[in-house]
Structure 1
């Protein structure tokens, strides 16, 4: 059985740019970029909130076609949600909230 160009693009060790159409190549690059961003969001949340019990990450398209990054976390019974149009803005929100969260939850009142 002969493999088609699509089969080669999906599961081959050959570079997609060598065998795939420009449309397929662009789709594969975007899928990889999306997965990289989701992975970064997960790593950032887990490093800032190590005791988190529930986390979610999402990329959504806004009304005007802009991507909106969403992340939410439940940590020590508190639910926090972050939303930004840039990864830098999202990172600042997460870092700031984590610092405040650690301050309020590090020394329990006796």
Structure 2
């Protein structure tokens, strides 16, 4: 199997996080339709649990391979580069989304 470059791995990680954020935002947008109104403490509890699980999933997507590079393969330089590349891709995706939304609102 061909070895993937760090920038491409970072692109895939950032794409995965972006897709996951879109998926969770869809749950937030349609949650009241799917689950109905939750007048008790269960609504905020569900939100907090989803928030915590989302943080864990995003951490695993973002840092899983970098953690492997750093601790298992002892390749600190590549791990730091991967984190920087992934952060850059996420920032770029965020800027693209802001630009897209600004054009959609006009």
The structure with the largest alpha-carbon Rg is 1
Higher RCO (CA < 8 A, seq sep 6+)? 2
Comparing both structures, which one devotes a greater share of its residues to helix?
A: 2
TM-score (norm. length: structure 2) = 0.33
Comparing both structures, which one devotes a greater share of its residues to strand?
A: 1
